[in-house]
Amino acid sequence: MQRPAGAKKRVLRPPQIRGANRAAVLQLLRHNEHMSRADIARQCGLSEGTVSRIMTGLIADDLVREEGHESSTGGRPGRRLQLEPTRVALGVDIQNWETRFAVSTMRGRFVDTRSFRTPATIQETLHRIAEAFDDWRSGFGSQRVAGLGISARGIVNSDAGVLVLGSRPDWANIAVRDLLEARIGEPVYLENNVRAAALAEYNYGASEVCGARCLVFVKVDEGVGMGLVIDGRLHAGPRMAAGEFGQMVIAMASGPERHDRAGCLERLASNPALCARYSTLTGSIAAPDTLAHVRQILEAAVAGNAAARESVRETARCLGVGISNVVWGLDADVVVIDGAITEAWSVIEPVISDQLPEEDSLTGVPVLLRPSSLGGDAALIGAATLPFMTLFATGESRRAAGASA
């Protein structure tokens, strides 16, 4: 078969091969607490000599630590290797009312956290973030802090580091990366909160999620958002707007609107929708604190309250219809749901599952449906590990690549 005219065969150069091998080793250590060189060689398909050379470089770069010995069944015991636990990054998750911080290791484990009420202006918010980064950098040491990752609601251009449209009217076209890099002098990464959470779920969540060919991560809160990880890569779309799942229309309704239509998923399956449905059934007035009200309804549903169960089940049915559309369209094999609604998993799981394709409708392999395993911290873990994404993809950090340029 001839190659089309103009097509070029991609040839990996020696530095790219070395980088790919380093990345493969680092990814193995991300998912395993300790490994020996022999273990790594077997799983990567590399020779032990090659693995030893890679390890020499990774240890010299303070990315891997060698400690202790594994138990031996004969011969010289192997040294245990792990990702360097003192190499950290700072993550920030900017929410409407609260901004959360975490210092994370390369394995997505928090070593320190804090939070503050989100200021009214983006300028004050970025100022507070920079102050927190300076404080932590002085405590951990500049050579140990790999950078700053931020997750934010709204439309985010992660390539340019720009918050195109945030959750507040005046939070638009903010060059977050440039502003913060000028202030702190370190690499800054910006991502949409749901996409950051999807990355965290794929890289640091349950083991069966990591191997997904197409992961659909669904976040249910004030709206309904979606993150897609396809063949290990986050899909953001050409306009960085992929995942506006809440705008999917699942119930036709008259009206000229093209956004937030009456029959869209956001109006039918979000936290406010659940509260409104319960209030209609009970004649009660929805509480001003939506999240607290949702948790009360969910607790009542699990306890058997009829109105609460009906409200939760109908919300889950609408959510399941929307998820089913995505599963059919993308041939997704794993769906992870995050949000308070998962606190009533025993109530919602059968309802959502009933909307998904039957096992024999596709390939005979059922769609895996599960709640998030990250305890509500997915977006923050995703933000805190953004500075390590280039390292795990290429074997080199952005800071190192810039220094060698």
The pLDDT of residue 287 is 78
104 neighbors 113 (Cβ within 8 angstroms): no
Task: Give dist(CA 341, CA 337) in Å, integer.
Answer: 9
CATH domain 14-83 topology? Arc Repressor Mutant, subunit A (1.10.10)
Which CA distances in Å does 389 have to 118, 219, 277, 287? 27, 22, 41, 41
What is the pLDDT at residue 68? 65
pLDDT tens, residue by residue, 96-129: 889 999 999 999 999 999 999 999 999 999 999 9
Residue 284: per-residue pLDDT: 86
> DSSP code of 340?
G
* Inter-CA distances, 97 with 83, 133, 157, 350, Å: 35, 20, 22, 33
pLDDT at 157: 95
Question: Is residue 344 within 8 Å of 298, Cβ to Cβ?
Answer: yes
pLDDT of residue 7: 47
The parts of the chain modelled with pLDDT lower than 50 are 1-4, 6-7, 72-73, 404-405
d(CA 317, CA 91): 34
Domains 88-197+380-404 and 208-373 share a fold: yes
| 301-313 pLDDT tens trace | 999 999 999 999 9
* Residue ranges covered by each domain of the chain: 14-83, 88-197+380-404, 208-373
For the domain made up of 208-373, the CATH class stated in words is alpha beta
Q: How far apart are CA 378 and CA 226, in angstroms?
A: 13
Q: Which residues contact 275 (CB under 8 A, 6 or more apart)?
A: 286, 287, 290, 293, 294, 297
3-state secondary structure 87-145: CEEEEEEECCCEEEEEEEECCCCEEEEEEEECCCCHHHHHHHHHHHHHHHHHHHCCCCE
Q: Is the domain 88-197+380-404 a CATH 3.40.50.11260 member?
A: no
